[in-house]
Structure 1
């Protein structure tokens, strides 16, 4: 099998049920999710090399997230989504909430916005968070213009929160304090 097909040379590609321009919002949405998945892979690579800290839980969670990001992309590539064929579920989003709570419990309370960074793992997880937010914004735009399943949008919304909590937990595990944004008002409260 050849990797190249030449079918996209004129700026079009196939989604399930249609041929569209490569800059179609549907293609932009699942393309951005693919970009996010690459950054998650980079975070996994960095964490896997660090043997000074036990990253087992985070590595397992991030690996599962990679598979679920493929599910999101799969659901979004239908020109006319078929509810029977959708892979992303409300249970996947609920599981993220449990992970968020667990990682949040490992961190000191925050009241203000924080600057992305600290450790290399936290920095990469913040990159994942921001790319995830962009993917979510594109899915919102897609849903305003074309048929689009709801669950991938909800999943991406929660996933960005997961990356935030995981980034903070990574810094905490490494003994680093998150840097607060100096001019931030108090915006966070522990529930």
Structure 2
């Protein structure tokens, strides 16, 4: 596999995302709902990386648990918005880092779907 392989780029961006989520989690109370959810997302990202790195997913037969995490995140986001609207980056350190984490999440997906 070459360094410019789309899987290398995707995993590099996913690793970057995971690092930023680690910063966010460190800023939250350890057992808060958000911290636990972020920890679960980080664990799932590691599984995603193993699937991306191995064509056919042969190295890790574990099924991804994305549906449950997506539902949990949507519920949590609904409780945080308090009536809807966008959350602006920089309203707090946590939201600033969450917005920063969104960028590598989108960048990681591009080489895999284009």
Aligned-residue Cα RMSD (Å) equals: 2.3
Equivalent position of 2:23 in the other structure: 42
Separation (CA, whole Å) in 1 of partners of 2:87 and 2:80: 16
Counterpart CA distance in 2 for 1:88 and 1:35 is 23
Aligned residues of 1:72 and 1:88 also touching (Cα < 8 A): no
Contiguous gaps of at least 5 residues in structure 1: 1-19, 50-54, 142-191
**TM-score normalized by the length of structure 2:** 0.82
Name the CA distance, whole Å, in 2 between partners of 1:74 and 1:133: 18
Q: Which has the higher strand share?
A: 1
Structure 1's 114 and 95: CA in aligned 2 closer, same or farther, altered over 3 A? closer
Counterpart-to-counterpart distance in 1, 2:74 and 2:13: 23
**When you count helix as a share of all residues, which structure comes out higher?**
2
Structure 1 counterpart of 2:62, from 84, 87, 97: 87
RCO comparison, higher one (Cα < 8 Å, 6+): 2
- Unaligned stretches of 5+ residues in structure 2: none
Q: Give the Cα–Cα distance (whole angstroms) in 1 for the partners of residues 76 and 113 of structure 2.
A: 28
Matches of 2:23 and 2:82 in 1, distance apart? 26
Which of 1 and 2 has greater Rg? 1
What is the CA–CA distance in structure 2 between the aligned matches of 1:88 and 1:132, rounded to whole Å?
20
TM-score, normalised via structure 1 length? 0.52
Alignment partner, residue 70 of structure 1: 46
1:134 aligns with 2:110: no
Distance 1:95 1:27 in 2: 25
Distance 1:129 1:117 in 2: 14
The aligned runs of 1:95-174 (5 Å cut-off) are 95-111=69-85, 115-141=88-114
